[in-house]
Amino acid sequence: MSPILFLLLTICMIQVISVILVSIVYRKHVQSMHGMILSMTLGMMTGLLFGTLLGLHLNGDLFTSTVISMLIGFSIGFLAGLPFSLFTVIEGSVSGIMGGMMGAMLGEMIPMSNPDAMIKLMFFFTFMILLLVSYLIETSIISKKLNLPILVSNHPYLYIIVITVIFFLIKDISIIGIENEHNHNSF
């Protein structure tokens, strides 16, 4: 795995874990609808992201990439919904399964000549959606007159600028070692 891909996955997982931890600590102050949105979004986005990456990495093995990405999306959706209710657990789990399936199919269908463009877009969408979910949870908690130590709402433009700079600086994410078997012309 390339260092850039590892860095992006680490940033993404830190965002997911921090949102889950904040929702666990402040679960009584988060509205139930916000909890459902949180679990569905985290399950779907992680399923899509990891499904796309695994679909690219395990190109040609759709079954394995689909099962692993469904398990990842299911697990994150399940954990994100756990602090709230059985309803949010079910919604998050099902969304994670669906995201894993769609991500694996997307990863399989991407042309192998230029996969890094889709990887960059998936990371960009995931970062932005996770920032919006963080902001939603924070505003739900702040409306109850509670203090949070770290706030996305205090510095939203800083996060957006950093993510945009990372997006434009990333070049050629090496996720796959493709042997060019299809371009051998034997006449």
Residue 182 resides in a domain: no
pTM value? 0.80
Within-domain flag for 44: yes
Q: Where on the phi/psi map is residue 60: left (φ > 0), alpha (ψ -120 to 50), or beta?
A: left
Asked if residue 133 is part of any domain, the answer here is yes
Position 176 in a domain? no
Measured CA to CA, the distance from residue 177 to residue 66 in angstroms comes to 20
**Contact between residue 125 and residue 106 where contact means Cβ atoms under 8 Å apart:** no
Domains of the chain: total: 1
User: Which structural domain range is residue 131 located in?
Assistant: 3-169
Q: Tens-digit pLDDT profile for the chain (187 aa)?
A: 677 778 788 888 888 898 888 888 888 888 888 889 999 999 999 999 999 989 888 888 889 999 999 999 999 999 999 999 899 999 999 999 999 999 999 888 887 767 777 888 888 888 888 888 888 888 877 777 666 666 666 666 777 787 777 777 766 555 544 434 444 444 4
Residue 56 tokens read as: 């690219």
In a domain, 177, yes or no: no
Domain contains 124: yes
Domain for residue 38, yes or no?
A: yes
178 falls within a domain:
no
| Token output for 39 | 């679990």
CB atoms within 10 A of CB 48: 27
